[in-house]
Structure 1
Amino acid sequence: MKKTNELLTKNSMVCLLALICCLLWGSAFPCIKIGYKMFQIASNDTASQILFAGARFTLAGILTIIIGSILGKKALVPQKGSWHMVLALCMLQTVIQYLFFYVGLAHTTGVKSSIIEAVNVFIAILVSSLIFHYEKLGKEKIIGCMIGFAGVVLINLNGSGMEGGMSLLGEGFIVLSTVSYAFSSVLIKKFSQKENPVTLSGYQFVAGGLIMAAVGLGMGGHLSGFTPASAALLVYMAMISAVAYSLWGILLKYNPVGKVAVYGFMNPVFGVILSALLLGEQNQAFTAKGLLSLILVCLGIYMVNKTPRCSQR
């Protein structure tokens, strides 16, 4: 166990596993929008968007529990005193985050969403520093947050190839989803000291997915267009969550929040590139404003994590 813990704190291993997570998460932006087309979900069909998300995360939870049980050679079941943790993560990481995310993504582009999502890195570090006191908040981190937010604001300015501006149902909901995710990231670090992070991920996904599916059905949502291709996409999207969140939770358990969060800058990088390639959004991804926004976000995250290792607790 000690060797495993040491391995998971090595910079090279943290980098490798974190980049795998970010690549998977980056692919989620275009996959969700492709899924809307495959399952014939209109941008104003909120009920079906929520149902779609519920189906994805219920399946993700089931896959996480099955895979975790096989790898651990025993049934993956939360401890008796861990159910309140599962419920808290279920609401923050799945229900609230993805209610806002799925609706927001239907009203904006994959490129803009992927860059706005980078805000969760700054919020997670602020929450970790100011509320949970896991690490200190220095001048570099404050400057980094300001630079990163400047990139988010820039991507939403009208003109120069960036159409649409900012709307509450679009970019506004994406921002709210990042806030929810940031809080859940810090809670994962806290809860994983007492419970297996893979167990937490699996059961909170099942609970959150079922809640979202019930809400979507209750609102009159429906899914159609099931084909081998659309089913495969749904399974892949479930695996994104099952693999990425489990790995990320393990990294947060053994490392400072800032050390892991720094790799979040690759989410918008992968998201922008994959959205450009798969959704034909090259006009946004490769304009001067789009690239400058991405650079500012990445620079901000670098500044946030530039603080000396001794400042972390």
Structure 2
Amino acid sequence: MNNINLKWIYLFALSLIWGSSFILIKKSLLGLSPYQLGALRVIITGLFLFVIGYKTVKTIKPKDWKWLIISGFLGSFIPAFFFAIAETEIDSAVVSILNSLVPLNTILLGFAVFKIASTKRQILGVIVGFIGTAILILKGAHLNPNQNYMYAVFVILSTVMYAFNVNIIKKYLQHVKPLTIATGNFVAIFIPGVVVLLFTDFFSKTTFNNPEFKMAMVYITLLSLFGTAMAKILFNKLVHLSTPVFASSVTYVMPVVALAWGVIDGEGFSFLQGIASLIILLGVYLSHKRKG
């Protein structure tokens, strides 16, 4: 199968996995605090990656560790906590919509910091997708007037970190295999994750006696294995196969999946949001860089 077809398969597989992550975060928060959730996400994902990728750690060159550590904190560690904090105040679907700022930040940072050029077609795709995202945000705010949108700052900061991460992978880790990148990332952030968990009351009777605790652990395990570990490997592969902008455009399709889960879980959805979702899909198509 050629790379063009593989790009789209990876894109939509990631959209399905990551689009489902937001509802898993929401459900996990019923029995866990945001800091417990973030720490457990790092720890469980790390353990899984160590099992399947421990042999790849030996292949990492000393010069690559700096970028793997930075990539680990910007692409996994800090966002794991920020998204959990944001979802204590904002619906899961709205958080996924705000996450669609990643491609715009990827283009801006790629050009300004990493000197990675983007085509006019890619820029047009980002603008179109961003318009669709803006419609979704405005309509979501209208449907949910009681939500504290100040917490959107946590998501916006995460999108900037994701944009840095995808450009770092493309510019400095292109030669490193996707599984190796993911495993190296979690070698760097695993101990900090354990430290954060120890400073929460996770091991107290209060946590274990919470009737939602057991199901929260099921949700966070699913989130860690699929939404983080498997998705990280697929995303790193997608960055290798395509451009940073096309890879980050996965965040334009994710809201469609997240909105569907939100509707199932009782979150509001309107006809206009459906139209906005179609505009987002058009933005993804336009962001695909065709070779002349």
Report the TM-score, using the length of structure 2 for normalisation.
0.84
Mapped to 2, the partners of 1:254 and 1:295 lie a distance apart of 25
TM superposition shift of 1:183: 1.3
Mapped to 2, the partners of 1:217 and 1:290 lie a distance apart of 41
Q: What 5-or-longer segments of structure 2 have no aligned partner?
A: none
Q: Which residue among 102, 123, 146 is the counterpart of 2:84?
A: 102
TM superposition shift of 1:263: 4.0
Equivalent pairs counted in the alignment come to 283
Mapped to 1, the partners of 2:160 and 2:61 lie a distance apart of 28
Contact 1:50/1:215 (8 A) holds in 2: yes
Contact 2:7/2:241 (8 A) holds in 1: no
Mapped to 2, the partners of 1:196 and 1:275 lie a distance apart of 35
Mapped to 2, the partners of 1:150 and 1:75 lie a distance apart of 41
Aligned positions of 1:203-218 closer than 5 A: 203-215=184-196, 217-218=198-199
SS of the aligned residue for 1:280 comes to coil
Mapped to 1, the partners of 2:230 and 2:16 lie a distance apart of 11
Q: Which residue among 48, 52, 59 is the counterpart of 1:67?
A: 52
TM superposition shift of 1:166: 6.0
Q: 1:16 to 1:98 in 2, by over 3 A?
A: same
Aligned: 1:85 with 2:67: yes
Amino acid paired to 2:50:
I
Q: Can you list the C-alpha shifts for 1:53-81, whole angstroms capped at 9, x where unaligned?
A: 11111211221231234xxxx45333333
TM superposition shift of 1:162: 4.2
Amino acid paired to 2:36:
L
Q: 1:209 to 1:272 in 2, by over 3 A?
A: farther
Q: 1:209 to 1:54 in 2, by over 3 A?
A: farther
TM superposition shift of 1:184: 0.6
Aligned: 1:147 with 2:128: yes
Amino acid paired to 1:291:
G
Q: 1:273 to 1:94 in 2, by over 3 A?
A: same
Amino acid paired to 1:105:
E
Q: 1:131 to 1:110 in 2, by over 3 A?
A: same
Q: Can you list the C-alpha shifts for 1:24-65, whole angstroms capped at 9, x where unaligned?
A: 11111000111111x2x4xxxxxx312211111121122123
Amino acid paired to 1:111:
A
Aligned: 1:195 with 2:176: yes
Aligned: 1:237 with 2:190: no
Q: 1:162 to 1:234 in 2, by over 3 A?
A: closer
Amino acid paired to 1:120:
V
Q: 1:245 to 1:75 in 2, by over 3 A?
A: closer
Amino acid paired to 1:84:
K
Q: Which residue among 14, 27, 52 is the counterpart of 2:20?
A: 27
152-161 vs 24-33, greater mean Cα deviation: 152-161
Aligned positions of 1:1-313 closer than 5 A: 7=1, 10-37=3-30, 39=31, 41=32, 48-69=33-54, 74=55, 76-77=57-58, 78-138=60-120, 140-157=121-138, 161-164=143-146, 167-169=149-151, 171-215=152-196, 217-218=198-199, 220-222=200-202, 223-224=207-208, 225=210, 229-240=215-226, 241-277=228-264, 279-281=265-267, 283-284=268-269, 287-305=270-288, 308-310=290-292
Q: 1:188 to 1:75 in 2, by over 3 A?
A: closer
Report the TM-score, using the length of structure 1 for normalisation.
0.79
SS of the aligned residue for 2:116 comes to coil
Mapped to 2, the partners of 1:255 and 1:214 lie a distance apart of 36
TM superposition shift of 1:267: 1.1
Contact 1:105/1:174 (8 A) holds in 2: no
Q: 1:294 to 1:221 in 2, by over 3 A?
A: farther
TM superposition shift of 1:104: 1.0
Amino acid paired to 1:29:
F
Mapped to 2, the partners of 1:146 and 1:256 lie a distance apart of 17
Q: 1:119 to 1:301 in 2, by over 3 A?
A: farther
Contact 1:30/1:274 (8 A) holds in 2: yes
Contact 1:68/1:199 (8 A) holds in 2: yes
